[in-house]
């Protein structure tokens, strides 16, 4: 085999990349799926570097906290190729691809990590020192990039590893995105010392993040100011994290009170808080505050990192001792790039003018007192927006400020009233109240780094104010109250989504119908969006209405079931189609991004919503008639019989669905299976569908001998519906469609019935919505939301109206809807009772 150096460009990579293999079998990457050693990581990196070839090329890598993204980043550096590290998707990446025309693009395509070689050689002249290109803080997606060398990366990684005292036994969670310089510095500094990375894309607001952190014996994680807001919300102060050694903070100024509070928390629990200061132009870090000073000097950024130094440059209109902070050190960038031709440039700067106004305290610690470039002159008054933000923060108001020509724009998140904010700002700054414009918002726009997205804020401030719609949401239509009412929850906040709050397929229909009345047309993924991200004003009514396919199928299936039982017509297959839709909704509502424990709680709640109303109805019928037996009430008729009963088969579908949910829940209760589902969300249900085909085709002859329950025989339909919800891209959708078309025919021996099920699968897979009209939407919503209750009750309704089949159908549907309303009232009553007991206890 040709030695690797002979296959690579002559440009040297940073030593921390060269030296990966020297750390041997020590853990390098810890993921939810297992551990990768440094030896294995080095092998993967070198294999990927060989694929990139010996000629230096501009390599764009979609940054993500995944093994594939990290290997691609390191392989580019190992091969001496300049790496353009970008967000893993979205318009920012497309903008940079168009602006810089990379030779190679590495990233996910339809869920598969791919290397796209756009040309064999290179279209660029690349300076020998150029190693990495990053977007400047706040300019993600802009053509302006920071040019960094391998020496920059190594120097900053060594400095950070030094002052943090990183050990080879440390395990750092990737709590920030790698295309953000702070997140990348965590990666580089820990690889420098042979420490491990707990590789995850989860947020600190996700309980699964902390499950993984504890399981991996995590010792550190990084946060920006917004991270600490999230930590407060999730109860970080009460968490048991026995291996935590230190927490780092950068990415913007953290309020001194918060610094002091977290430093004190760390002192009590045995970990340190490092407050740091940096910019992308300095390869991440320029200063840090020693942890023992965080409680006494929380307003300071501290001292320069090893190898760096500060000075003050004169700044106009500033008091003595205050000037622009200038940094010099081996981690200062080569310069900026604004066009492809700049990639050929060498060093154009020797020191970094930060744009921050600073002073040095008597104790030698540096402090930031303002931002030079953000000063604005409004009506003759010089205003520092950052100071205004600090003022409002002291009054517990989360805000971001912008200076315009004749006004100060203050965006405010939360429930602070505009009048109060305007008064606070006007009194402090000396502006007339008319020059302070307050923009209330559910939340401030933020970049992936957690910093406020000021360009987006400015665009919002400059957008023309739309005319207020006639039906704008008011207090009566408060979305949180609406969610709380439908889901019987008392803990709803704007940060929650429908799935966060335990919404399921039964409540989904009612929620979507009621939301549509308030907001207009809903986005397709509304159930996964935080409430605050939903439009706060009704969208313009579309000319053509649509209906979600799963809702349409549920409504149509229950009508077909009841109509065929009467019989008004003979179109069977609706129950088996409902089983597929149940699998589809199981993936959407029970398999969310919450912890395994919360997933199991959601499955238990879904089972309760099915089992309890069923048993109540059957018990009521048993009290009045001899139609059912105890085995029917206990939903075990398919297990214990009697097999020749005339009515016991009525509830085979509900029994089957309950067994499927119990079995699937038990499977997902296994930590390994839960990890597989998150790692292979499409492959797992496909594999389960394959196992389910053993029952469908009775491979072992068990059905013939023991009369297997319907849930076992038809499980493959549920699993295929699950796979349909997880299918991404044409190939996966085609696989589900072909699987249904190949396995459903022959199951019943009724071509029309089988064609109905296959057609329903095709709609579910390929069409998220179907054309509709408002009246049909409302009717379908009611029927779909009541489908379980219609199925339960219609057996006791239609036999009395057989001679009038159309009336029998309408009465059966109406009875089910009425029972559904009664059940929902009972759920709400129970929720209120639990709430009162909780408050009393």
Average pLDDT of the chain? 85
Confidence band of 465 (pLDDT split at 50, 70, 90): low
Say if residue 213's pLDDT is above 70.
yes
The model scores a pTM over 0.85: no
* pLDDT above 70: residue 8: no
Q: Which of 95-99, 770-774, 813-817, 821-825 has the largest mean confidence?
A: 813-817
In the predicted structure, residue 712 carries a pLDDT above the cut 60: yes
Identify the residue with better confidence: 364 or 515.
364
Tokens 């970049």 locate to 447
Q: Are strands 112-117 and 145-149 parallel, antiparallel or unpaired?
A: unpaired
**Position 76 confidence tier, pLDDT thresholds 50, 70, 90:** very high
Highest mean pLDDT among 362-366, 381-385, 427-431: 362-366
Comparing 412 with 475, the larger pLDDT belongs to 412
For the residues 155-176, what does the mean pLDDT come to?
A: 96
Q: What is the pLDDT of residue 443?
A: 82
What is the per-residue pLDDT for 758?
94
pLDDT of 469 above 50: no
Give the span between the Cα atoms of 256 and 264, in whole angstroms.
Answer: 12
- Place 66 in a pLDDT band, splitting at 50, 70 and 90: very high
Confidence of residue 65 (pLDDT cuts 50, 70, 90): very high
- Among 308-317, 367-376, 576-585, 796-805, the range scoring the smallest mean pLDDT is 367-376
Between 85 and 205, name the one with better pLDDT.
85
CA-CA-CA-CA torsion sign (263, 269, 270, 271): negative
Same fold, 4-360 and 375-460: no
Instruction: With CA atoms as reference, report the closest residue to 177 among 222, 219, 225.
Output: 222
Q: What is the mean pLDDT of residues 239-250?
A: 95
Q: How many whole angstroms separate alpha carbon 288 and alpha carbon 512?
A: 49
- Cα-based distances in Å from 388 to 401, 440, 442: 7, 16, 20
Q: Is the pLDDT of residue 92 over 80?
A: no
> Average pLDDT in the 296-311 region?
96
Mutual orientation of helices 574-589 and 596-624 as an angle, nearest 10°?
Answer: 140
CATH of 4-360, one of 3.40.50.12780, 3.20.19.10, 1.10.486.10, 1.10.10.10: 3.40.50.12780
> Tell me: the pLDDT tens digits for 608-666?
999 999 999 999 999 999 889 899 999 998 888 766 556 767 898 999 999 999 999 99
CA angle 343, 349, 351 (to 5 degrees): 145
Nearest 10 degrees: Cα torsion 140, 144, 145, 146:
-110
For residue 398, pLDDT over 70 is answered with: yes
Pick 644 or 755 by higher pLDDT: 755
- CATH of 476-543 given 1.10.3720.10, 3.40.50.2020, 3.30.70.270, 1.10.1200.10: 1.10.1200.10
pLDDT at 431: 67
Contact 517, 545 (CB under 8 A): no
Please state the rounded mean pLDDT for residues 702-723.
78
Every domain of the chain and the residues it spans: 4-360, 375-460, 476-543, 549-784+802-807
Would you place residue 302 in the very low, low, confident or very high pLDDT band (cuts 50, 70, 90)?
very high
Q: What pLDDT, in 10s, does the model give residues 113-123?
A: 899 999 989 99
CATH code linked to domain 375-460: 3.30.300.30
Strands 196-198, 27-31: pairing kind: parallel
> In this model, does residue 377 exceed pLDDT 70?
no
Report pLDDT digits (tens) over 121-163.
999 999 999 999 998 754 444 578 999 999 999 999 999 999 9
pLDDT for the residue numbered 756: 93
Range of lowest pLDDT (274-283, 447-456, 802-811): 447-456
What pLDDT, on a 0 to 100 scale, did the predictor assign at position 816? 93
pLDDT at 664: 94
């Amino acid at each position: 085999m040709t030695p690797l150096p002979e296959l690579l460009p002559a440009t040297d990579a940073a030593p921390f990349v060269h030296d990966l293999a020297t750390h041997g079998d020590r853990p390098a990457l810890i993921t939810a799926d297992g551990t990768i050693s440094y030896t294995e990581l080095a092998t993967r990196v070198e294999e990927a570097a060989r694929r990139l070839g010996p000629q230096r090329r501009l390599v764009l890598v979609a940054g993500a906290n995944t093994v594939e993204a990290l290997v691609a980043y390191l392989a580019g550096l190992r091969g001496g190729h300049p790496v353009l590290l970008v967000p893993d998707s979205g318009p920012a990446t497309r903008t940079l691809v168009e602006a810089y025309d990379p030779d190679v693009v590495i990233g996910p395509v339809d869920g598969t990590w791919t290397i796209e070689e756009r040309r064999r050689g290179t279209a660029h002249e690349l300076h020998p020192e150029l190693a990495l290109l990053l977007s400047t803080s706040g300019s993600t997606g802009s053509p302006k990039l920071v040019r960094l060398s391998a020496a920059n990366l190594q120097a900053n990684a060594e400095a950070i590893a030094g002052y943090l005292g990183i050990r080879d036994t440390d395990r750092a969670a990737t709590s920030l995105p790698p295309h953000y310089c702070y997140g990348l510095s965590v990666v580089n500094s820990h690889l420098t010392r042979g420490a491990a990375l707990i590789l995850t894309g989860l947020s600190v607001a996700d309980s699964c993040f902390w499950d993984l952190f504890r399981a991996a014996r995590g010792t550190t994680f990084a946060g920006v100011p917004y991270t600490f807001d999230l930590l407060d919300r999730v109860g970080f102060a009460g968490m048991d994290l026995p291996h935590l050694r230190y927490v780092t903070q950068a990415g913007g100024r953290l309020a001194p009170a918060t610094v002091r509070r977290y430093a004190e928390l760390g002192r009590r629990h045995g970990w340190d808080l490092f407050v740091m200061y940096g910019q992308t132009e300095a390869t991440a870090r320029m200063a840090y505050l020693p942890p023992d000073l965080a409680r006494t000097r929380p307003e300071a950024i501290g001292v320069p990192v090893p190898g760096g130094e500060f000075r003050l440059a004169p700044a106009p209109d500033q008091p003595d001792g205050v000037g622009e902070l200038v940094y010099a050190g081996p981690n200062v960038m080569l310069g900026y790039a604004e066009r492809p031709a700049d990639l050929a440039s060498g060093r154009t700067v020797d020191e970094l003018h930060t744009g921050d106004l600073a002073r040095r305290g008597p104790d030698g610690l540096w402090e930031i007192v303002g931002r030079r470039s953000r000063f604005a002159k409004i009506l003759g008054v010089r205003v520092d927006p950052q100071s205004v933000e600090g003022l409002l923060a002291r009054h517990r108001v989360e805000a971001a400020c912008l200076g315009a020509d004749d006004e100060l724009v203050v965006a405010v998140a939360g429930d602070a009233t505009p009048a109060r904010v305007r008064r606070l700002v006007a009194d402090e700054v000396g502006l007339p109240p008319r020059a302070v414009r307050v923009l209330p918002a559910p939340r401030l726009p933020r970049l992936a780094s957690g910093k406020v997205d000021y360009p987006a804020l400015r665009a919002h401030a400059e957008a023309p104010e739309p005319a207020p719609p006639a039906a704008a949401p008011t207090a009566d239509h408060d979305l949180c109250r609406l969610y709380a009412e439908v889901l019987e929850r008392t803990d709803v906040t704007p940060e929650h989504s429908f799935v966060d709050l335990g919404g399921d397929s039964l409540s989904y229909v009612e929620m979507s119908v009621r939301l549509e009345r308030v907001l207009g047309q809903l986005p397709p993924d509304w159930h996964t969006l935080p409430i605050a991200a939903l439009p706060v004003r009704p969208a313009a009514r579309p000319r053509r209405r649509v209906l979600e396919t799963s809702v349409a199928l549920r409504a149509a299936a229950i009508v077909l079931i009841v109509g065929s039982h009467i019989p008004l017509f003979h179109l069977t297959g609706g129950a088996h189609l409902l089983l597929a839709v149940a699998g589809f909704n199981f993936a959407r509502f029970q398999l969310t991004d919450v912890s395994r424990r919360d997933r199991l709680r959601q499955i238990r709640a879904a089972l309760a919503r099915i089992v309890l109303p069923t048993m109540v109805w059957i018990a009521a019928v048993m009290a009045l008639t001899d139609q059912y037996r105890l085995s029917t009430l206990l939903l075990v008729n398919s297990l214990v019989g009697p097999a020749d009963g005339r009515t016991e088969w009525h509830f085979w579908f509900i029994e089957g669905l309950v067994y499927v949910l119990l079995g699937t829940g038990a499977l997902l209760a296994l930590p390994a299976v839960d990890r597989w589902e998150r790692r292979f969300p499409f492959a797992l249900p496909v594999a389960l569908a394959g196992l389910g085909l053993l029952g469908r085709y009775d491979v072992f002859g068990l059905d013939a001998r023991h009369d297997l329950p319907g849930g076992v025989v038809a499980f493959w339909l549920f699993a295929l519906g699950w796979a349909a919800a997880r299918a991404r891209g044409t190939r996966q959708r085609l696989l589900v469609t072909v699987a249904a078309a190949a396995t459903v025919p022959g199951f019943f021996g009724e071509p029309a019935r089988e064609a109905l099920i296959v057609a329903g699968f095709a709609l579910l897979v390929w069409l998220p919505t179907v054309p509709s009209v408002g009246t049909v939407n409302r009717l379908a919503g009611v029927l779909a939301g009541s489908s379980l209750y219609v199925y339960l009750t219609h057996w006791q309704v239609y036999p009395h109206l057989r001679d009038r089949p159309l009336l029998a159908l309408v009465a059966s549907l109406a009875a089910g809807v009425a029972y559904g309303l009664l059940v929902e009232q009972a759920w709400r009553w129970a929720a209120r009772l639990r709430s009162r007991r909780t408050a009393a206890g």
